Amino acid sequence: QLQLVESGGGLVQAGGSLRLSCAASGSISSINEMGWYRQAPGNQRELVAIISSDGRTNYANSVKGRFTISRDNAKNTVYLQMNSLKPEDTTVYYCNAYIRQIGGSYASAYWGQGTQVTVSS
C-alpha cells in the first residue's frame, strides 16, 4: 500500500517557524515532482511549493522568501521549512507526490492526509 505520511504541523506564534515532513512508503519505483499545497475551509486547494526530482523549485508568491522546500530522494521524503509565519498561513497543509510504483508504466498523484498549521497573532 503506497502512502504519504506527514508530520510537523502544530501551533506557533506569528514570526515563528515550523518544519513539515512527508515520507512516501510502499512499492516505489521512482518519484517525480513532490510538493506542498494548502486548503482553507471553503477554499480551493492552492499550491505552496513544488520541487522536481532534480531539485528545481517553484513557490507561491505569498510564501517566497519565507518558505523553503527540499527533498531527500534516498528517504523518499519532502520537507517544507516555514519561517516568518503569519496568521494567514493558518490552514491544513497537504503533501503531494507523483509516484511510479514498481512494475507500473506511469506515475500517479498521491496525497498525504493533511497536517494542521496554526499561527497565532
Tens digits of residue pLDDT in 76-94 = 999 999 999 999 999 999 9
- β-sheet bridge partners, residue 76: none
Mean pLDDT across the stretch 54-78? 97
Cell digits of residue 42:
471553503
What is the band of 25 on the pLDDT scale with cuts at 50, 70, 90? very high
pLDDT at 107 over 90: yes
Name, in order, each residue with C-beta under 8 angstroms of 14's C-beta and a sequence gap of 6 or more. Answer: 85, 86, 87, 119, 120, 121
Query: How many whole angstroms from its chain centre is CA 71?
Result: 10
Counting residues of the chain whose pLDDT is more than 70, the rounded percentage is: 100
pLDDT at 1 over 90: no
